[in-house]
Amino acid sequence: MRSGNRPQGDAVRQMRKLRSISELTVLDLGLGMAPAVVAHFLREHGAKVFRVERDDDPFYAVYPAYSVWHEGSRRVGPVALRELAERADICITGGEDWPGLAPLPSLFRPGVSNERLIVLDIQGDIDPRRPTPAVDLLAAASSGLCYEQHSDRPIAFAFQAPTYGAVLLGLAGLFAALLEREVTGLGKTVRTSMRRGATLWWSGFWSSAEHPDAAFANVIPKDVRPLIFKCKDGRHVHFVLGSAGSVAKLFSSLGIELAVDADDRGFPNPAGGPRNYFFPDMDLLQRHVEEIDLQELLVRLRAAGIAAEEVSKPGAIWDDEQIIANAIVNTTPCGWRQVASPVSLEINTNSQDPTRTRSPIPGRPALRIRIVDFGSFVAGPYASKTLADLGADVIKVEPPGGDPTRAMIRDFSAANRGKRSICIDAKSEAGREVMKRLCQDADAVHHNFRADVAKRLGLDPSDLRRTSSDLMIMRTSGYGTRGPKSRYPGFDMVIQACSGLEYAAAGQGNPPMWYRSPVVDYAAGAVGAIATLMALFERQRVGAAVTADVSLLSVGMFLGSEVVQSPDGSFMGMRELDTRQTGFHPAEALYQTADGWIAIAARSKEMATRLAAVLGVEGELSSREHWDESARETVAVRIRMRTTLELLDELSKTDVWAAPCIEQGWAALRNDSALGCANLIGSTSTDQRGTVIFVGSLLQRIGDLPAPNTAVPDLGEHTSAILLEIGFTEREIEDLYDRGIVY
């Protein structure tokens, strides 16, 4: 099946190459996973990557995918590097730390005068007073991420959340800087960090209000039990409620003969507590699910319109028809298979005309653009919110009932701050005409409609470009635009299930675990912002209009990019958390102290020996590579005898890397003014909740822009003003209100 579908996949991959990116020269001086993934992304989209290889790079042994990520990069030495630095567009620096591994010396100062060079610098922390080594586990612990799943203990995340966050923020900042350079002609240094990357995933939770109400307090609780159940054949299913009549459809699918309100959508119920948050009687559902084999249950649920997927192992769906149809996995020239870029780009060849590039407007920042966003929920809107943070004017188009996530105000706020809201009834022809005029005045249009719905609303690329030929179009979908599941509803939960994230999160011998923050949704939003910036860069430099596609499925798979398949068919890079979910290796794990928890990252043999000496167990432990569960317990017993501060002090003196597990990450971030990266903490004043404080922009702002708008728009708050801007008269606007076309 795989070989029969490759021509289609190859054709899809060809559409990802933009001329503007193919003209870029990249110098890769980074170490570890984050720089490698960034460099691979750029190379996959056509950039020429030159890498300074060092003999002592330890990460080839850490990540089996490391060689694959660097496959295709051209190796250069110091002599050639200096010449390349004079003409390079991008230089990647920083990355992960390793004991005893000195960073490469600066090759750019003095002597290199490339004013157009953009440097992407990836570090571990954002606190200059006490920088934590750039290790994913330490960043997760010191940011508070480890304590966001359970109320009584921290866990190590199976997917490297701080690292992937740094990758996504780094790429977004990089393409924003490239766009800015088209206006100014000057490069800059873009800085991001694992600590900032860790913050990305909790944007919808980390918020506080002066006068919180019930709606503000309604967040998914720690210890929550998701709708994951074991089937008759021992396999697990994860399904999602929330659509019209979901509960009745679920009962019918499971053969539950109980009366139920036909309109019950099965929305979460905070009164049910963590165990019954997603459904009032989880035991009832389990009793019926365990009587049905998985495949039979999936058929029933999907026939009823309920989103559902099997909880799969990483790599299990690589040969699935949907994966192949959308080229989510590709094969390298050396025969390795890997997860492809989550961004698919299609060039409107009719618009590709270098004479039609948009001339920079003097004094106008590159991101002073208008985006019309029809997206709802989190993934789609978070993309345009990220661009609003950079200065874009984003108009959020909502139906009369509003975006469904308005009921979850923190999620809505995280994905929609800084936008203007217009409310339009798209069911009417007049409403669709208003939408059309909105799009004519835009630089980009975002939506997450199915293809047939987009066509009906006049948002198909061919329709939109009849009057605005260079319009950028960003489409977010659940499963991609091709394949048998292209019309399936896609949600974070079921994508976490099928992509392998839930299986990996569980740890050895445990039932699957869903990350209670919608990590796939936030990642998809960040990828959508990256895709938009890439497309705008192409338009600015080449004059071509681009349609970008991002699916939750491709993004969920991307969050497992460490997994690769060798030419002999075996999978590599599939590390497994221990049963306690504390780490992958006893020397790099979470441990309980006498009064808290710490994260230890003794990454080398020598550092592990020093750790054993501090704990007084050097005679009981073998060399680091032989540490097993018994070694973990030996270390754990001794660590439980020390207080956190006492142990951290001893470890610091002997150069053993460690960090405290912060229990209240949001409070630590909010209250520590020394972390004051510009705009990292935002606030806004509201009539209902007083002052609301939240995670602000995670990206550096570009150009000389005022502080971003941080207000959360009320439904239809800006309808009249926007209609006036696009040419409607006051009389016409009044008529639209009277007829219920706009609200």
Query: Could you read off the pLDDT of 668-687 as tens digits, one per residue?
Result: 998 875 554 567 888 999 99
- pLDDT score at 705: 61
Q: Tell me: pLDDT of 7 over 60.
A: no
Tell me whether the omega of the peptide bond preceding residue 212 falls within 30 degrees of 0, making it cis.
no
Average pLDDT, the chain: 92
Planar angle of CA 503, 504, 509, nearest 5 degrees: 70
In the sheet where 236-239 sits, what is the strand order? Answer: 228-230, 236-239, 308-310
Note the pLDDT of residue 77.
82
6 falls in which pLDDT band (50, 70, 90)?
very low
pLDDT for residue 721: 97
| Alpha carbons 54 and 59: distance in angstroms, whole number | 11
Environment class of 707 (CB within 10 Å of its CB; exposed 0-12, middle 13-18, buried 19+) = exposed
Find, among 414, 413, 431, 430, the residue nearest to 422 by Cα.
431
Q: Say how far residue 152 (Cα) sits from the centre of its chain.
A: 27
Binned at pLDDT 50, 70 and 90, residue 351 comes out as low
pLDDT score recorded for residue 642? 98
Please report, for the chain, how many H helices and E strands are present, in that order: 29, 27
| Rg (alpha carbons) of the chain, rounded to whole number | 26
Residue type, 520: V
More confident: 522 or 671: 522
Domain regions of the chain by residue span: 21-205, 241-306, 586-665
Q: State yes or no: pLDDT of 250 exceeds 70.
A: yes
- Quote the DSSP letter at residue 188: -
pLDDT at 363: 41
Q: What does the pLDDT read at residue 647?
A: 98
Q: Is the dihedral of CA 546, 552, 553, 557 positive or negative?
A: positive
DSSP assignment, residue 485? T
Please list, in sequence order, all residues whose beta carbon lies within 8 angstroms of the beta carbon of residue 161, skipping any fewer than 6 positions away. 136, 140, 145, 197, 198, 201, 519
Q: What is the pLDDT of residue 83?
A: 86
Q: How far apart are CA 505 and CA 312, in angstroms?
A: 12
DSSP 444-482: EEEE---HHHHHHTT-SHHHHTTT-TT-EEEEEESS-SS
The string of pLDDT tens digits covering residues 194-213 is 999 999 999 999 999 999 99
Instruction: For residue 187, give both structure tokens.
Output: 């490069």
DSSP state of 51: E
Residue with tokens 């006036």: 724
Q: Which pLDDT band holds residue 367 (cuts at 50, 70, 90)?
A: confident
The tokens describing 170, both together, are 């780094």
- Residues 586-665: name the CATH superfamily: formyl-coa transferase, domain 3 (3.30.1540.10)
45-59 burial: b if 16+ Cβ within 10 Å, else e: bebbbbbbeeeebbb
Average pLDDT over residues 379-390: 96
Task: Name which CATH class applies to 21-205.
Answer: alpha beta
Residue 239 has pLDDT above 60, yes or no: yes
> What's phi and psi for 597, nearest 5 deg?
-135, 150
Q: What is the pLDDT of residue 441?
A: 87
- Asked if 192 contacts 244 with a C-beta cutoff of 8 angstroms, the reply is no
Report d(CA 590, CA 581) in Å as an integer: 9
End-to-end CA distance of the chain: 51
Task: Measure the CA angle with vertex 547, ends 544 and 550; round to 5°.
Answer: 140
| Burial of 113 per CB tally in 10 Å (0-12, 13-18, 19+) | exposed
pLDDT higher than threshold 70 for residue 732: yes
Q: What whole-number distance in Å separates Cα of residue 427 and Cα of residue 368?
A: 31
- β-pairing, 48-52 with 25-28? parallel
Banded model confidence at residue 361, pLDDT cuts 50, 70, 90? very low
Distance CA 47, CA 27 (A): 10
**At 370, which helix (H) or strand (E)?**
strand 370-373
**DSSP tag of 103:** P
Which region among 353-357, 413-417, 535-539 has the lowest average model confidence (pLDDT)? 353-357
Rounded to whole angstroms, how far apart are CA atoms 598 and 138? 9
pLDDT of residue 111: 53
DSSP 8-state code for residue 66: H
Here the tokens at position 190 are 């873009």
Per the CB < 8 A criterion, the answer to whether 514 and 498 are in contact is no
Q: What is the pLDDT of residue 79?
A: 77
- 124-138, 382-396, 594-608: the lowest-pLDDT one: 124-138
Q: Residue by residue, what is the 3-state secondary structure of 524-575?
A: HHHHHHHHHHHHHHHHHHHCCEEEEEEEHHHHHHHCCCCCEECCCCCEECCC
**Predicted local distance difference test score (pLDDT) of residue 112:** 63
pLDDT band for position 81 (50/70/90)?
confident
pLDDT at 78: 74
The band of 572, judged by pLDDT with boundaries at 50, 70 and 90, is very high
| 133: three-class secondary structure by DSSP | coil
Q: Give tens-digit pLDDT for 103-152.
A: 766 555 445 689 999 999 999 986 666 678 999 999 999 999 999 999 99
Q: What is the pLDDT of residues 155-189, one digit of tens each?
A: 999 999 999 999 999 999 999 999 999 989 999 99
Task: Supply the pLDDT for residue 358.
Answer: 45
State which amino acid sits at residue 277. Answer: Y
Q: pTM for the whole thing?
A: 0.95
> Cα separation of 263 and 171, whole Å?
43
- Tokens representing 278 are 């997603």
